[in-house]
Structure 1
Amino acid sequence: MNAPKKIGILGGTFDPPHIGHLKVASHFAKVLCLDELLLIPSGEPWQKGLEITPAKIRLQLTEAAGIDLARAFLYLQIPTQIGIDRIEMDRAGPSYTIDTAQALRERFGPESSLTWLMGADSLIQLPTWNSWKGLFRYMNLAVASRPHFDLATQMSPEIEELLELHQINDPAALENSPAGLIYIDKSLSVDLSSTELRNCLKASSRGQIASEQIPAHTLEIITKLGLYQ
């Protein structure tokens, strides 16, 4: 019999996608032995306000980042397949993770391990997500630490209770669990702030910062379209 699939999901506004996203994707693809990794740009990111780059352009930027991610996987000998998924862009209305989680569970079946990848700051904000407690019926969470971010001092009672119920210390447990677990990885410390990067792109040092923090193919499109100036 075939073993259940192990699917990782990295969702976000991707405005723009950057090296931090690729590092998180590469790290968890290897640690969790993922069969497939989906990059899912949000269609209507309801918590991000109005000054968001149009969805079609963010999809284009994410597809370009996927090219660099595939090259990184090849170099690192990570066999995970990469997919750029427009599930949230094709769904009308605000992009709620709970809707995406349910749709992906239906797509991949009840046995597959589905793991949503995020930064520690997103975990802290989880109680603000729509129907957030229902997420654990459909997926696991893998959380990357962030530089200078003390998760313990930021946690609300809701998150503390959540971790008591769902946290595990061995990432291998996620491979064998379809949903319901949380793994916090303290070995990876990555800054995931697209907001700060957009501000840097408006500065005089734009060129140097961009080449260090944005995947090459994504930067090429940003430059061509004159974005974030």
Structure 2
Amino acid sequence: MSTRQKIGILGGTFDPPHIGHLKLASHFAKLLRLDAILFIPSGEPWQKGTDITPANIRLQLTEAAGIDLARVFLYLKIPTQVGIDRIEIDRAGPSYAIDTVKALRDRFGPEASLIWLMGADSLTMLPTWKSWQDLINIVNFAVASRPNYHLQPNTSSELSQFLQKHQTLDSAALDNSPSGLIYIDEGLTVDLSSTTLRNKLKTPARNVIAAEQIPSHTLQIITDLSLYQQSS
């Protein structure tokens, strides 16, 4: 058994965090036997435009979702610790993954397996990220499929070559490697679109949708602050 520390990283805007995020976290926490998983809300999400909920509120929503996730882990007897990290919110300027992973590598040391968790759609966008090819030298990637999302037709030649070089079919390989590997998991199909959820929350079916798709503690804050409502 490897004694290497395994840290899952789930970055995003989290506007809002939802059940899909928790399912992704739970799936990989169990599959990869993660010691901890860090939710990292972006401070200034440079690819998302300007219509974004303020960072301090998104942090609060993510912390609330973390409470529900920790309860899920307790119920399922998953020993993974849950952390909400404000590293990108505290850092001035646009939130770039490359800056975040460098800081986390400094924090956890050279031997820890740092595993960036994402959906397949995020993987196809990877070439648009700052210094994207350098990320693999610092972290591993674990990628979950999405409903009706076919990775190969959406993959650029540049990304295809990247996958050919770094992809592993064995999730256990991440146990023994601090960085350099990409594992694509086809055992999980959850929709991770916060954008779609925000649009649905502006419809008359808001209450039903919210109760089904948003963690209870997060939903309480959304309700208290009257977030994501149709503009009058």
TM range (shorter): over 0.9
Structure 1 counterpart of 2:23: 23
1:207 equivalenced with 2:232 (yes/no): no
What is the identity, as a one-letter code, of the residue corresponding to 1:34? L
Structure 1 residue runs of 4 or more that deviate by more than 3 Å after TM superposition = none
1:1-229 aligned within 5 A: 3-229=3-229
- How far apart, CA to CA, are the structure 1 residues paired with 2:87 and 2:175? 24
- How far apart, CA to CA, are the structure 1 residues paired with 2:82 and 2:101? 18
What is the identity, as a one-letter code, of the residue corresponding to 1:45? P
Count how many residue pairs are aligned between Structure 1 and Structure 2.
228
Once the two structures are TM-superposed, the CA of residue 3 in structure 1 deviates from its matched residue by 2.1
Aligned-residue CA RMSD (Å): 0.8
Pick which of 12-21 and 148-157 moved more.
148-157
- How far apart, CA to CA, are the structure 1 residues paired with 2:119 and 2:94? 21
Structure 1: where are the runs of 5+ without partners? none
Q: Percent identity among equivalent residues?
A: 71
- How far apart, CA to CA, are the structure 1 residues paired with 2:4 and 2:188? 27
- How far apart, CA to CA, are the structure 2 residues paired with 1:112 and 1:160? 27
SS at match of 1:82: strand
SS at match of 2:207: helix
What is the identity, as a one-letter code, of the residue corresponding to 2:160? E
- How far apart, CA to CA, are the structure 2 residues paired with 1:108 and 1:85? 14
- How far apart, CA to CA, are the structure 1 residues paired with 2:71 and 2:219? 16
What is the identity, as a one-letter code, of the residue corresponding to 1:33? R
SS at match of 1:89: helix
Superposed CA offset, 1:143-194 (max 9, x none): 0000000111111101110110000001000111100100000010110000
SS at match of 2:136: helix
Superposed CA offset, 1:15-68 (max 9, x none): 000000000000000000000100000000000000000000000000000000
- How far apart, CA to CA, are the structure 1 residues paired with 2:94 and 2:118? 19
- How far apart, CA to CA, are the structure 1 residues paired with 2:110 and 2:15? 32
Q: TM-score if structure 1 supplies the norm length?
A: 0.99
What is the identity, as a one-letter code, of the residue corresponding to 2:132? W
Once the two structures are TM-superposed, the CA of residue 126 in structure 1 deviates from its matched residue by 0.2
Superposed CA offset, 1:72-109 (max 9, x none): 10111100001000000010000000000000000000
SS at match of 1:141: strand
